Amino acid sequence: MIWLALAALAALAYLAIELWLRRRGFIDVPLFRFEEPGIYRAAPDQSGRFMSRHEWRYDRRGMRFSGEVANLAGATILLGDSVVDGGNRIGQAQTLPALLAAELEETVYPVSARGWALANELPALTAMPRWEQGKRLILVVNSGDFATVGAMGDRFMFSRRRPPFALPWLVARQVGRMLFRSPPDPQRPELHAQTIADFGGIAAKFGGTVTIVRYPMKGQDPATDPRFAELHAAAPGCALIDPSDDPEWGEDCYADHIHPTAHGLMVLARFIGQNAA
């Protein structure tokens, strides 16, 4: 009889933990989907609040955007990866597009997803309606974006469906990340020249101004990477700006080796707003 009582108590304890984790939003993360091999983005029309604090919303195109736009004509387009998207621990109002929209007092539409590289970003941009008629195109690019393509390999970072049970999923996620770290997307040197040429073609078709934000990884001087100069040269007339030129940009702007903190995003948004063409 005592074993039945203990089993009942254990089941109740587990149920209480499950309910608490769900109510606190520990599994309230955006879902992702493949559109075709090698092409992915967040699933459309979804929203939530991770850990009951960090609000997120994705529009019908799978972009982290709170409003609705019929097309990109007249918009400032912010193109990039997780630096633009923000991730789970940055609320919707603290993302780079939202902060930049407040800085510029105009619509800033993100074309971005975590894990993307240039080979993901450029086709995603040209699939958007009337992208050529945007007011500004601002590309946030780092040195890891040139010769790879994001493949949505980590099933915990890129959840395809809601887990049926929160606690086992969270345990597997933490243990898996500690013991079985997903390898980085493989380097594909042949993409280097192709992505630079593709960007040049896009810049030539774009009707508004074009700005490249040479985003530095922590402790890195991106000016020493010649690929940024090649990217700049492929789009004559575009601006090239470097956040590390801002005196407020420093180590306290980073949450890890690359992603900005909420403070870093504010510094970055103000810098882009003041310096974008």
Residue 169 maps to a domain: no
200 belongs to a structural domain: yes
pLDDT of residue 101: 97
Q: What is the pLDDT of residue 9?
A: 84
For residue 204, what are the contacts with CB-CB under 8 A and spacing of at least 6?
235
Measured CA distances, 70 to 41, 92, 154, 171, 195 (Å): 19, 20, 32, 41, 28
* CA–CA separation, 258 and 44 (whole Å): 27
pLDDT for res 176: 64
Residue 40 belongs to some domain of the structure:
no
Q: Is residue 4 part of a domain?
A: no
What is the domain extent for residue 73? 69-150+185-275
CA distance linking residue 169 with residue 153, whole number of Å: 17
- Give the pLDDT score at 60: 96
Give the per-residue pLDDT at 177.
64
What pLDDT, on a 0 to 100 scale, did the predictor assign at position 277? 77
Task: Give domain status of residue 33, yes or no.
Answer: no
Per-residue pLDDT of the chain (277 residues; tens, 9 = 90+): 788 777 778 788 889 998 999 989 889 999 999 877 567 999 999 999 999 899 999 999 999 999 999 999 999 999 999 999 999 999 999 999 999 999 999 999 999 999 999 999 999 999 999 999 999 999 999 999 999 998 877 777 788 888 888 888 888 877 766 655 666 677 788 889 999 999 999 999 999 999 999 999 999 999 999 999 999 999 999 999 999 999 999 999 999 999 999 999 999 999 999 999 7
Provide the β-strand partners of residue 210. Answer: 137
Residue 176 lies in a domain: no
Residue 182 has a pLDDT of: 62
The confidence score (pLDDT) of residue 157 equals 79
- 221 within a domain of the structure (yes/no): yes
* 8 A C-beta contact, residue 1 and residue 8: no
Q: How many domains does the chain have?
A: 1
Q: Where are the alpha helices (DSSP H) in 113-208?
A: 118-126, 166-179, 190-205
Look at residue 178 in the predicted model and tell me its pLDDT.
63
What CATH number corresponds to the domain at position 120? 3.40.50.1110
Helices 96-104 and 262-275: angle between axes, nearest 10 degrees: 40
Cα dihedral value 244, 249, 254, 260, nearest 10:
-80
Could you give the CA distance from residue 254 to residue 241 in angstroms, rounded to a whole number? Answer: 19
**What is the predicted pLDDT for the residue at 10?**
79
First to last CA, the chain: 75
Q: Is residue 56 part of a domain?
A: no
